[in-house]
Amino acid sequence: MHLRSKANKFFSHRTRNIHRSGPVFWGWYVVFSSFVMLTLIYGARYSFGVFVKPMFAEYNWPMTVISLAASINLLMAAGMFLLCRATNVIMLYAFAMFFGYLATGPWHR
């Protein structure tokens, strides 16, 4: 008996428990949650055009200023993803969104 077959026989019960812990493989939960998060993120990011007219009506800003702000945001995000690690950029955006919420929270209305 070769050494490799002894090792496979010894570790075979452990690998079965790692790969199959329930009726559904745990990797599918990761795939599903990633799909949901990306759908929400891209939906929020690319639905900006829907909000241009209401922002124009409420704040009386020119549409060019609103569109310029959105363009700068997209260009900065793309540049940051190219220059930095994605995890750092995502954390930076998360903090910016949190502090933006605090700055414009419901208590300011």
b vs e for 66-75, b when ≥16 Cβ sit within 10 Å of the residue's Cβ?
beeeeeeeee
Structural domain contains residue 94:
yes
Q: What is the pLDDT along the chain (109 residues), one digit of tens a residue?
A: 555 555 555 555 555 555 555 688 888 888 999 899 888 878 877 788 888 888 888 888 888 888 888 888 888 878 877 888 878 877 887 888 788 778 776 666 5
Q: Is 34 part of a structural domain of the chain?
A: yes
Is 16 among the domain residues?
no
Q: Is residue 8 part of a domain?
A: no
Residue 1 lies in a domain: no
Q: How many domains does the chain have?
A: 1
Host domain of residue 80: 22-108
